[in-house]
Structure 1
Amino acid sequence: MKMRKLALCLLIAFLFTSFAGVVGAEEPFSVAAIFQTAIEEPWDGVIHQACLKAEKELGIKYEFAEKVSAADFEKVLREYAERGFDLIVGDAFLAGEEPSRRVAKDYPEIAFAFGSEFGPVAPNYSVFDNWIHEPAFLCGIIAGRLTKTNVLGVVAAIPIGEVNRLVNAFKAGALSVNPEIKTKIAYIGGWFDPPKAKEAALAQIEGGADLIYAERFGVFEACKEKGILAFGNMSDQNELAPEVVITGPVWDMYPTIEFAIEMVKKDAWVSMDLGEWSMMAKGGARLAPFHGFEQKLPAEVLQEVKDIQGKILNGTSRVPVVEEPPVSD
């Protein structure tokens, strides 16, 4: 009888602890992302890669929706909010600006962080952007030193602040070392139109440009055809055209995502501008590796870039942020 009672007590204790363990088990931190373009597009791709890294290194749960149209943006975002994700991130530029703010207002208990050209909104809507104007300036220095025609090209998306500041920084970097530089600038009128970007690059090459900053996809194809060197944008794009891509500004969103997750976990999330986490000093921006171009570029140019980069990192040099539409020469 005593043995039966003991066995029963042990069984009850086991069931209780098992049930308590199930009840007490924490759900993994969850992040959802909503993208207006395909994740192959560099801007949204950088955010996606940062979330994938957080999934691997921080053990979060991650879901995303890509190529979300303007008509569906709010619907998809509300579905994520209804499912109770801890953090929702994405690209709000243009079509997503108003709907993302409306949804965030309706779900104040959820943290929202969106790429935006506008400001944060209390209590839970934060903003970020690709503040990679510093490495864009460094690319301009390289271009200004290497050009033989004194004509550079830039093919970019849309003349809005976050694009303009990259174009202006590249142009300023080139002029800082070569005041004779002329820069031809073309906007393709959208985020992802490789054929149009290629066409614009070919026109610039015909106009004398011998180095091109490819702010958008499509430029490398033109450069390969014509034997022109180029600079990538957003990510390390050397593998797309190793024979022409020298380097380029790299945007690393992981510091931003990691910080956002940490703040939400601490119950310390507030609306804020997360821009500083996308700059060089915080590890959110850098130059892509040269992938063998170290042996092809003049040593004095590489040293000059290294010296100026060091000054940017230690705060003794600043790259001006100029968001007005640049003038094409």
Structure 2
Amino acid sequence: MSKRLHSSQFSAISRRAVLQAVGAGAALAGTAAFPGRLFAQEPIKVAAIYTVPVEQQWVSRIHKAANIAKDRGDIEYVFSENVSNSDYERVMREYCEAGHKLVIGEVFGVEDASRTVADDYPDTAFLMGSSFKPDEAHPNFAVFDNYIQDASYLSGIIAGAMTKSRNIGMVGGFPIPEVNRLMHAFMAGAREVAPDIKFQVAFIGSWFDPPKAKETAFAQIDAGADVMYAERFGVSDAAQERGLLAIGNVIDTQADYPETVVASALWHFEPTLDHAIAQVKGGSFKADDYGIYSFMKHGGCSLAPLGTFEGKVPDDIMAMVSEKEKAIKDGSFTVEINDEEPKSS
């Protein structure tokens, strides 16, 4: 199975060092927050641009948070889905021209172009999923990511207790930091229970290709995996068909796989978006890293309820999970953030 990124993704990652260097070299003095006069009164106009369907795990959480803010009356919300990288810049500009004051989305494959748009529309705030850090040269461009390593670690503890073969299969989209850190945290959690556990790691080269993810999962199951880490849609289907277990990622799919999905690490985008809305309304939006708002201590992630698996996970394991969760929240334990590509072991 190929582990290479699409060319646009590879270019985005290889440019990280360049953008970070620019950010480090930019003069910090004189970098101010957005002038208050640039922002509309309540509700503010928000637009989102997604490269995949809103049903996709990662995007669905952003979409959900935006709809909650819309229902509260804080924002007006419109969105575009399935936008290709080649069209992304055009759609960004169209929303800016339409007067939207906050544009959210994911720019992993169009990092340079998205910042160029931000330069051209200094009166618009941009909050974008990105592998890069904020760059003070672009004061209206903030970044976020799903730093849900805390919940992933806890789900790994459960997986380590549920595997009988001590062999776990892991199927991801691309080996980029957004995926890598969650896989590493999950693996670390599993090793807390079973230090000798083995992992099969594969990437399908797509954010949304359930058939390919399912095919990859079948191959790992045939190679001995009895618990699957479902970073992508399609993996839980393979586990269900073979009568095995799966661990979910970002969203809770247990209702769809009641006898398969034991636990899931959930991402809650609400703290991230709510902070951005407040900054826009207060006239203080600036280049910043919103990643911390995905941490468990900020309410940005959680372990999904066990549901149908309540009582099926050993009590001592759930006690360990509760203890670790408490330690994560009070700061006495920190889950390592490892963005390097995970390997099979």
**Fold match by TM threshold 0.5:** yes
Determine helix, strand or coil for the equivalent of 1:320.
coil
Within 5 Å, give how 1:39-188 maps onto structure 2: 39-94=54-109, 96-121=110-135, 122-188=138-204
Residue 21 of structure 1 is matched in structure 2 by none
Aligned to 1:310: 326
Cα distance between partner residues in 2 of 1:124 and 1:48: 22
What's the CA shift string for 1:32-72, capped at 9, x where partnerless? 00000111111111111110111012441000000001121
Which string of whole-angstrom CA distances, capped at 9 and with x for unpartnered residues, describes residues 232-253 of structure 1? 1111121221110111111110
Match of 2:338 in 1: 322
- Structure 1 residues 27 and 149: alpha-carbon distance in aligned structure 2, compared to 1, 3 A threshold: closer
CA contact (8 A) 2:51 2:81 kept: yes
Shift of residue 296, structure 1, vs aligned partner: 1.4
| 1:192-244: CA deviation from partner (whole Å, max 9, x where unpaired) | 11001001111111111111110000011111110111011111121221110
Q: Find the residue that maps to 1:172 and give its secondary structure.
A: helix
SS in structure 2 of the partner of residue 71 of structure 1: helix
RMSD: 1.3
State the alpha-carbon separation in 2 of the partners of residues 88 and 158 from structure 1. Answer: 25
What residue identity is the alignment partner of 2:97? E
Q: Which runs of 5+ in 1 are unaligned?
A: 1-24
- Match 1:248 to one of 264, 279, 283: 264
AA aligned opposite 1:105: D
Partner of 1:13: none
Distance 1:153 1:58 in 2: 43
Query: Could you tell me the TM-score, scaled by structure 1's length?
Result: 0.90
- State which of 278, 299, 302 in structure 2 corresponds to 1:286: 302
Residue of structure 2 equivalent to 1:12:
none
| Higher RCO (C-alpha 8 Å, min separation 6) | 2
Q: Secondary structure at the match of 1:262?
A: helix
Distance 1:27 1:151 in 2: 52
Partner Cα separation in structure 1 for residue 308 and residue 240 of structure 2: 17
Query: For this pair of structures, how many residues does the alignment match?
Result: 304
Deviations 1:164-212 (A, max 9, x none): 1111111111112211100111101110110010011111111111111
Equivalence for 1:38 = 53
Q: Distance in 2 between matches of 1:233 and 1:211?
A: 14
Post-superposition, which runs of at least 4 consecutive aligned residues in structure 1 deviate over 6 A? Answer: none
* Distance in structure 2 (CA, Å) of the matches to 1:169 and 1:252: 18
1:26 to 1:111, Cα distance in 2 relative to 1, 3 A: closer
SS at match of 2:335: coil
Query: What is the TM-score when the length of structure 2 is the normalising length?
Result: 0.86
SS across alignment from 1:247: strand
The 5 A counterparts of 1:193-232 are 193-232=209-248
Contact conserved, 1:294 with 1:302, CA < 8 A, in 2? no
Quick one: distance in 1 between partners of 2:83 and 2:159? Answer: 36
Task: Using the aligned pairs only, state the percent identity.
Answer: 46
- In terms of Rg, which structure is larger? 1
